[in-house]
Structure 1
Amino acid sequence: MVLVSAVRDYINRMLQDISGMKVLILDSQTVSIVSVAYSQSELLQKEVFLVELVDSISKSKESMSHLKAIFFLRPTSENIHHLRRQLASPRFGEYHLFFSNMLKDTQIHILADSDEHEVVQQVQEFYADFVASDPFHFSLNVPSNHLYMLPAVVDPSNLQNFCDRVVDGIAAIFLALKRRPFIRYQRTSDIAKRIAQETTKLMYQQESGLFDFRRTDISPLLLIIDRRDDPVTPLLNQWTYQAMVHELIGIQDNKVDLRSIGKIPKDQQEVVLSSEQDAFFKANMYENFGDIGLNIKRLVDEFQQIAKSNQKIQTIEDMAKFVDNYPEYKKMHGNVSKHVTLVTEMSKIVEEHKLMLVSQTEQDLACNGGQVAAFEAVTNLLNNESISDIDCLRLVMLYALRYEKESPVQLMQLFNKLASRSPKYKPGLVQFLLKQAGVDKRTGDLYGNRDLLNIARNMARGLKGVENVYTQHQPLLFQTMESITKGRLRDVDYPYIGNHFQQGSRLQEVVIFIVGGTTYEESRSVALQNASNSGIRFILGGSVVLNSKRFLKDLEEAQRIARSSPAVV
């Protein structure tokens, strides 16, 4: 069962058994969960005539007794409070309450006591407490994502809220999959260890009965790792379609906001990029940018042929055929316009910011040795006024992560050049990144220079050359999946929690959760790995979906908190 299908199944079960006109009431997080899995037209087909947010309907007094209210909410104390107010003075004819995760007994009692008018028809838990952006990739959209960097510094209640949200999301994944995993975590990460311990406590002690699915086949693996083990991947420019759109424009819950671009038709100002709803995107989401241009040209050519055939309306039969096909024609027109607009805008950004020049140096820093050449390349780009400040910052960060031990003098020269180049440079941000994610903090073999097998692989790749210099980088996650597939993930680096695992058993399913966020480059690696038929199905999840802007923003916010704290990291 893939993730999008799991969420769709829950939504179907909510909507199909309740006949008549309905209003769907969501909170700020479940609106994301529903929107990525279900389209507006599909909701209309289920007789949902109104979608509202729970905090806005609490303010309204208007009676709508002809509508049946379906609430799909996270089981938070704030949402329970909204429901109490609703039930005290009901506006709708019926109330059907669905929660995206486990309700506490106290919450159930509060709801029962509040239903004095006896309008509540049902209360159910449907475990869709995650945003399934792709079949094997989910996010939790955690707002304060920077907290994972500062477990010893931030307010304990804020950190607990962060951990609770992550544990809830992970629990929902396994309840949706109807499995209980054995759990491993990254040894060098305090936050990964804490989340692993709290997840184990929930699944094996507090809610043991709920997770006891009495299945005899092999339990899946949950591996919890820390974003800081691979800070390189979210700093790189991207050149495959989905990842590139997110890096250059931004994707939020499978939607792309194009309002800032200029004169764009109203129906194209926010577009949907979903592999479930867009066949062209599904076929091309992992393709290189150069290939995308050719494929979009074919799409435009196909559309022009259809448009020409529609111009030859000469008979009543032709007209009837056109009317029958019009919705499909209009949908295709919108789809072609969407992809042409996206690629045109990205081409402009690439040209304006000289990203091909920047990206070539980025890839060399991430994939190839040679400190002297790297220093010269980064210095030249810092001297180039056409290169943006944020690109210069990322280049220095990538250099620092690679050569922090080898060239401290040159590194200081780059710090000074960066600082003198622009007042926008955040003082000390590169140094803070090294404190958070430098070589002494990392577990994995990020540059493939510790393990003999990785050194040999890199040498072989260097001798063969690479098909595309802009996409030669592979995230650390690729190595991690390879180690899992071959049974080589070291226990000393990724220990087990508890004694719930079966020694020597062959894995069939692995959920890898990255505290601090995933990238679309990593979700592409997971999709390609799953397509390789290794016998193991991987699912990737994280607290947010990152691009370089979001990663740097989290870093800045963590640095600000660390500076204001007496216990500076």
Structure 2
Amino acid sequence: MTLVSVVRDYIDRMLQDISGMKVLILDPLTVSIVSVVYSQSDLLKKEVFLVETVDNMSKESMSHLKAVYFLRPSSDNIQKLRRQLAAPRFAEYHLFFSNILKIPQIQVLADSDEQEVVKQVQEFYADFCAIDPYHFTLNINANHVYMLPTVADPHSSQIFCDRTVDGIAAVFLALKKRPVIRYQRTSDIAKRIAQETAKLMYEQESGLFDFRRTENSPLLLVIDRRDDPVTPLLNQWTYQAMVHELIGIEDNKVDLRNIGKVPKDQQEVVLSSVQDDFFKANMYENFGDLGMNIKRMVDDFQQIAKSNQHIQTIEDMAKFVNNYPEYRRMHGNVSKHVTLVTEMSRIVDERKLMLVSQTEQDLACNSGQAAALEVVSNLLNNESVSDIDRLRLILLYALRYEKDSPVHLMQLCNKLSRTAKYKPGLVQFLLKQAGVDKRTGDLYGNRDLLNIARNMARGLKGAENVYTQHQPLLLQTMESIMKGRLRDVDYPLVGNHFQQGRPQEVVIFIVGGTTYEEARTVALHNAANPGTRFFLGGSVVLNSKRFLKDLEEVQRISKSTSV
């Protein structure tokens, strides 16, 4: 069972048992939840002829249609529903909620249904975005709040925690599991979320979570993004992660309207492992292999079309696709991937990312402060390197060598301030948020004897690809769980529960956001180790731009509150 299949099953059950023409009514969050697992054609097959949002509905009477509502059970949504039930537009109302309804909310709905148009009210626990089979996000807009102390903004902090607890609870209700819960000791926000989740599962709604016990309890581990600030700062070179880093992915959709001459049908494209077989087969491939695989598909079609064109470059492929409208109709999927790879190649060349990324990987994976200082300093002087890439290089250098030579770090910061648009103090602010004194895990593998030996072995073997050497800290955490070596002192259990044996299901939730590199790590691990299945979730899906935006926002708030 995967997260995608669970959510699809919920939507199937909502729609298939209601005969006739239907309108589907969603809120902004359930739009995302549905769109990542269900296509427009899927909806049409279920006789859904109209999709509206609860915030922006027409007033036209449609008594020939049945209304299927799928909403989060928020107070705001309940009030909107109450007003709409007072003057019904549809023949029937079928109400589905993505999480637990409170008794007073049910009473409000019952009192509002004076014309008895409501045919059913159900809870379908899909209160999360299943963007991949083992990867989910909560799409929390104010993601930066996780870095703020509670006293700085108690209202936003409570909203963040409540939404996170709701999302985690829905995942376990969908999987029909009640977990043992652990958290990262050094993170106040991880501890708070873990404790509030335990309170919901074991006290407030214990009946809902009273599933059949298994020999080895599932595990929920709540950790903090700041324990690994390196992964979201790195350029990426595998397909899905690279698209998000260089262009951006939102709810499995990529906006291509700003990249030049793109056909109308390609201005927003879907990248879904469920809906796109080529993407599913190539989403974790490195950039070089991806280009070869796309070329092979284009070559195959050329042969079918009896074309004698000779294709050597990505530009040749793009011209070929544009010259064959029938190819786009038959293989629009390939056209989409050619467009993406062409645009990413342009960005890589323009920003000199092969040069920049090699240094990033060295900073993340290899020691050698003197050599790193020289290379970073030279890149800061290179006018072809963009401002954001210069900033990321400094941040990666600072995280690696913060204790080695503060004077050299200050020199680099001074150089950055002269050569790039730079918000003063951001480097030191990152170290204050996520420096070595704040972190639990062995980020650079230089504390623990086993990790030092592992790094030495990897160095002796050599990296298969210099641009994909980095392995996120999450991999170490997963290996520790698999081997029963997750230290209680670093990751305490909530309450009086204890972990017995190796868990067969593990949900790791990263407060502050996941990355597609980490999602790839989980998917590859699950494919190679069928005994233990990992799920990865977070408050958002990060790329370096979003991570830096969150950091800058917290820095701004911190400055304003300290004045």
- Aligned residue among 445, 464, 467 for 1:467: 464
SS at match of 1:488: coil
Per-residue deviation at 1:502? 4.1
Q: Which amino acid aligns with 2:558?
A: A
**Mapped partners of 1:483, 1:332: distance in 2:** 47
The superposition leaves residues 345-402 of structure 1 with CA deviations (integer Å, 9 ceiling, x where unpaired) of 0000000000000000000000000000000010000000000000000000000000
TM-score (norm 1): 0.94
Paired residue for 2:539?
A: 543
- Of all paired residues, the percent bearing the same amino acid is 82
Paired residue for 2:432?
A: 435
Distance 1:153 1:563, change over 3 A: farther
Distance 1:63 1:534, change over 3 A: closer
Paired residue for 1:452?
A: 449
2:70 is the alignment partner of 1:63: no
SS at match of 1:55: coil
Paired residue for 2:504?
A: 508
TM alignment of 1:170-319, pairs within 5 A = 170-308=168-306
Per-residue deviation at 1:283? 0.5
Tell me the matched-pair count.
546
Aligned 8 A contact 1:147 1:154 in 2: no
The superposition leaves residues 445-479 of structure 1 with CA deviations (integer Å, 9 ceiling, x where unpaired) of 00000000010111111111111000000000011
**Mapped partners of 2:455, 2:150: distance in 1:** 37
Aligned 8 A contact 1:228 1:437 in 2: yes
The superposition leaves residues 161-187 of structure 1 with CA deviations (integer Å, 9 ceiling, x where unpaired) of 000000000000000000000000000
The superposition leaves residues 252-287 of structure 1 with CA deviations (integer Å, 9 ceiling, x where unpaired) of 000000000011111100000000111111010000
2:528 is the alignment partner of 1:495: no
2:153 is the alignment partner of 1:155: yes
Q: Which amino acid aligns with 1:179?
A: K
Paired residue for 2:144?
A: 146
The superposition leaves residues 12-69 of structure 1 with CA deviations (integer Å, 9 ceiling, x where unpaired) of 0000000000000000000000000000001001000001110001xx3210111100
- Aligned residue among 467, 470, 480 for 2:477: 480
SS at match of 1:369: coil
Paired residue for 1:313?
A: none
2:558 is the alignment partner of 1:562: yes
- Aligned residue among 83, 86, 111 for 1:85: 83
**Mapped partners of 2:479, 2:515: distance in 1:** 18
Per-residue deviation at 1:215? 2.9
**Mapped partners of 1:27, 1:335: distance in 2:** 29
Q: Which amino acid aligns with 1:528?
A: L
Deviates most, 459-468 or 358-367? 459-468
Q: Which amino acid aligns with 2:554?
A: A
Per-residue deviation at 1:203? 0.1
Paired residue for 2:28?
A: 28
Aligned 8 A contact 1:485 1:534 in 2: no
Q: Which amino acid aligns with 1:476?
A: L
The superposition leaves residues 80-106 of structure 1 with CA deviations (integer Å, 9 ceiling, x where unpaired) of 111011001001111000000000101
Aligned 8 A contact 1:187 1:494 in 2: yes
SS at match of 2:439: coil
**Mapped partners of 2:453, 2:265: distance in 1:** 52
TM-score (norm 2): 0.95
Q: Which amino acid aligns with 1:40?
A: Q
The superposition leaves residues 81-136 of structure 1 with CA deviations (integer Å, 9 ceiling, x where unpaired) of 11011001001111000000000101000000000111000000000000000000
2:399 is the alignment partner of 1:407: no
**Mapped partners of 1:552, 1:402: distance in 2:** 18
Per-residue deviation at 1:153? 4.0
TM alignment of 1:2-41, pairs within 5 A = 2-41=2-41
**Mapped partners of 1:149, 1:292: distance in 2:** 37
Cα RMSD after superposing both structures:
1.4
**Mapped partners of 2:218, 2:471: distance in 1:** 25
Per-residue deviation at 1:216? 3.7
Aligned 8 A contact 1:303 1:332 in 2: no
Per-residue deviation at 1:332? 4.2
Distance 1:534 1:487, change over 3 A: farther
Q: Which amino acid aligns with 1:49?
A: F
2:527 is the alignment partner of 1:531: yes
**Mapped partners of 2:77, 2:134: distance in 1:** 29
Aligned 8 A contact 1:153 1:562 in 2: no
**Mapped partners of 2:423, 2:33: distance in 1:** 35
Q: Which amino acid aligns with 2:101?
A: L
Name structure 1 gaps, 5 residues minimum. Answer: 310-327
**Mapped partners of 1:522, 1:87: distance in 2:** 44
- Aligned residue among 340, 347, 350 for 1:349: 347
The superposition leaves residues 471-524 of structure 1 with CA deviations (integer Å, 9 ceiling, x where unpaired) of 000000011001111111111000000112344x22111000000000000000
Q: Which amino acid aligns with 1:8?
A: R
SS at match of 1:187: coil
TM alignment of 1:101-140, pairs within 5 A = 101-140=99-138
Q: Which amino acid aligns with 1:221?
A: L
Per-residue deviation at 1:534? 5.5
Aligned 8 A contact 1:129 1:168 in 2: yes
**Mapped partners of 1:460, 1:446: distance in 2:** 17
SS at match of 1:399: helix
Per-residue deviation at 1:535? 1.5
**Mapped partners of 1:303, 1:169: distance in 2:** 44
**Mapped partners of 1:332, 1:365: distance in 2:** 45
Per-residue deviation at 1:532? 1.4
Aligned 8 A contact 2:240 2:516 in 1: yes
Aligned 8 A contact 2:227 2:439 in 1: yes
**Mapped partners of 1:482, 1:365: distance in 2:** 23
Q: Which amino acid aligns with 1:5?
A: S
SS at match of 1:138: strand
